[in-house]
Structure 1
């Protein structure tokens, strides 16, 4: 069982002014932005690499699976690293690790090496995992527990800002400068054209690497709030009397995160290939990347709206409504054609918006001194995105459009969690900082 370290989640002492938390959240919003930006670059990278390496859908989605396997592999080591060197230094290490992975894309492109691409993406994702392990529970414990979902949705909206801008950035610098991105879907590239296309990833990843190093320098120099006693882990003797598995909201919340990630990542990674089809929108990959930006923009709008709604309505009720909406639009995507299918798939971004931050905060509700351990399990569940390869296999076997029935099935589990699984049992006094 993963346990977050004593130095995470961070919080200020009880008598510290609220403004310090506001400043810290504003700074950490840049981290949410950056890892959202880098993660979604993959959505435009996948159709590009599919053409460069002549991959089927299964091997294309394997690229994303490697990315999310990093969450499972790196979660526990990340927690141990934070415990050893401290929260702030660990953030710097995570950012520099991401910069190293981005720089590795340069030799991967020059050598046109599929294994090296997978390695580089794994390194980047491991750095993001280090940031995720601490940042999400940090936001959740600042302030009253009942508004934790609203706070996390608000900060995650800046993550969505990054995901909205990333397709435009990568669409212009990768797809817009490559033969595969500007040609039709039926064009077969020559060996020389595939090699030339591979080089188009160098500039954007160099820019990303430089930005990450600069952000690491900033994070290394600022002073984040000190850790208060309110969020310290309970003693080992006290913990022996408690069990994570007695909390229904966590037990069902871990698979909820896992299953939701299958839905989100499957939609995002297959979006460009789907809408480019002659029976849907019949557009180039470069043009499709602009519509992908609208999908992520809908997620940003949904998180801002969700933050407002959850201050008036119970978070689980809002989650239930959004999951029903996601289920409906995924059925339309599966059975409709033309622009209707495209816009229904775009709409799912809005309905997916609140799911991760809301499930996360509902999952740790009532865990009291077990909050850190529960948070670790929920972060590890992000590895569910690795199972996007299952949707790749379904696309190869039954057709790309039919594969979205898997997404619809995932929405049903989220609805189940909202209506029943999220109800806390054996709730302990929540730990938070006022």
Structure 2
């Protein structure tokens, strides 16, 4: 009988230390990840005007940023396995800082392709942060409260997603009318962001964080999951598609919301961009509420309701006009609040020693943030807003299915 060596479920070894330093570090981490990621929503309309691009071309900002998740998530998972969660976070902040600094030469040369390259490097750091942070949060406490814990920390991070559009509207979009604004207006803000990221990397490296330990045991070949491999977990397979759909829909709405609001309300883009703050601000409120609700209501039930509400709001926005269309689309942000945490937690439920690898795979599914916005951009260019928003609508319909059946942890037959 064959013998296979694998790891037990990962547990947090705090050696009596409190979680406070770790939670503070994770809160700062999520703030910066949210801020940087949502600042892309400002870059899309800014570069669209500055470089005279169509919607599909301007969405390449999101495409190259989120493409990194497909390219780097699995390697990032291996890096985190080797260097640990703390060093993974430090490396992530440092690499993201390098990407932010690359905006300066891109601005000097005034080349859209160079900005996309800088975003790609910046995103490598964000991917490393994401792969290190998500499982670290879920493992710092009881598995039953993992969704609540992850939602709460992401709620703190949502402050960054709310601030980013306001920051972008004031420091970037307001300079659209200036000469060479498409380059000059972004160089100084991103230089400042780069400096902050390097400072955070230094501070995190000096912190004493709880360590995660793996206990190795030996399991026989009759212990199914050891032999069947990571893709034998049904909930993970459906969760990969769920993360792809969710991130794709969330990013697509945020990406085009500025232009959508400007068209619907006939206002300037820097004013329309303020509505993006309400979109991400809704996620902040929703995550704080969700962290409490998930302590008493089963997460699949919550996911069904928020997924169904997202579908209803998008349909309402498509068939209406003016402020009704705008605020119903903005309201999807409130529904988005708990989706990632629930899908992620349900997808890794019961995976044990496969948790870190699964985190890398799930993070690679975030590439939906590259694919869905680009496809929606093509639909906008060829058809109209109504047709284009049917794409995120389909994404949310899948999330409802995942909440009803896809999350169930049945073992799949080995191939």
TM-score range for the pair, normalised by the shorter chain length: over 0.9
2:118 is matched with which residue?
120
DSSP 3-state at the match of 1:143: coil
Q: How does 1:286-305 map to 2 (within 5 A)?
A: 286-305=270-289
On the 8 A contact 1:303/1:353 being kept in 2, the answer is: yes
On the 8 A contact 1:295/1:346 being kept in 2, the answer is: yes
DSSP 3-state at the match of 1:227: strand
> Of 354, 358, 376, which aligns to 2:342?
358
Structure 1 residue 77: deviation in Å? 2.2
Structure 1 residue 199: deviation in Å? 0.7
Compare 87-96 and 341-350 and name the one that shifted more: 87-96
DSSP 3-state at the match of 2:227: coil
1:207 is matched with which residue?
192
Q: How does 1:2-401 map to 2 (within 5 A)?
A: 12-13=12-13, 16-17=15-16, 20-179=18-177, 193=178, 195-229=180-214, 240-277=226-263, 280-387=264-371, 388-401=373-386
On the 8 A contact 2:12/2:139 being kept in 1, the answer is: no
Compare 78-87 and 367-376 and name the one that shifted more: 78-87
- Structure 1 segments of 4+ aligned residues over 6 angstroms from their partners: 232-239
- Could you tell me how far apart the structure 2 residues matched to 1:305 and 1:317 are? 15
Structure 1 residue 233: deviation in Å? 9.2
Compare 161-170 and 234-243 and name the one that shifted more: 234-243
On the 8 A contact 1:12/1:21 being kept in 2, the answer is: no
Structure 1 residue 108: deviation in Å? 1.1
- Could you tell me how far apart the structure 2 residues matched to 1:10 and 1:219 are? 22
Structure 1 residue 246: deviation in Å? 2.9
Which segments of 5 or more consecutive residues in structure 2 lack a partner in the other structure? Answer: 1-5
Structure 1 residues 421 and 386: alpha-carbon distance in aligned structure 2, compared to 1, 3 A threshold: same
On the 8 A contact 1:37/1:165 being kept in 2, the answer is: yes
What CA deviation, in whole Å up to 9, does each residue of 1:258-302 have, x standing for no partner? 01111001000000010001xx11111111121111111100111
Compare 248-257 and 79-88 and name the one that shifted more: 79-88
Structure 1 residue 12: deviation in Å? 3.7
DSSP 3-state at the match of 1:276: helix
- Could you tell me how far apart the structure 2 residues matched to 1:143 and 1:426 are? 26
- Could you tell me how far apart the structure 2 residues matched to 1:58 and 1:95 are? 30
Give the alignment's Cα RMSD to 1 decimal.
2.2
Which segments of 5 or more consecutive residues in structure 1 lack a partner in the other structure? Answer: 1-5, 180-192, 428-434
DSSP 3-state at the match of 2:399: helix
Structure 1 residues 236 and 22: alpha-carbon distance in aligned structure 2, compared to 1, 3 A threshold: farther
- Could you tell me how far apart the structure 2 residues matched to 1:10 and 1:252 are? 23
1:412 is matched with which residue?
397
Compare 373-382 and 304-313 and name the one that shifted more: 373-382
What CA deviation, in whole Å up to 9, does each residue of 1:135-171 have, x standing for no partner? 1011112222221111111111122111000011111
- Could you tell me how far apart the structure 1 residues matched to 2:386 and 2:57 are? 18
With the length of structure 2 as denominator, give the TM-score of the two structures.
0.92
- Could you tell me how far apart the structure 1 residues matched to 2:218 and 2:267 are? 56
Structure 1 residue 86: deviation in Å? 3.4
Structure 1 residues 101 and 210: alpha-carbon distance in aligned structure 2, compared to 1, 3 A threshold: same
- Could you tell me how far apart the structure 2 residues matched to 1:78 and 1:419 are? 31
With the length of structure 1 as denominator, give the TM-score of the two structures.
0.88
- Could you tell me how far apart the structure 1 residues matched to 2:133 and 2:10 are? 9
What CA deviation, in whole Å up to 9, does each residue of 1:314-345 have, x standing for no partner? 00000100001100000111121111110011
Structure 1 residue 197: deviation in Å? 3.8
On the 8 A contact 1:51/1:194 being kept in 2, the answer is: no
Structure 1 residues 97 and 235: alpha-carbon distance in aligned structure 2, compared to 1, 3 A threshold: farther
> Of 419, 423, 431, which aligns to 2:408?
423
Structure 1 residues 371 and 83: alpha-carbon distance in aligned structure 2, compared to 1, 3 A threshold: closer
- Could you tell me how far apart the structure 2 residues matched to 1:244 and 1:93 are? 27
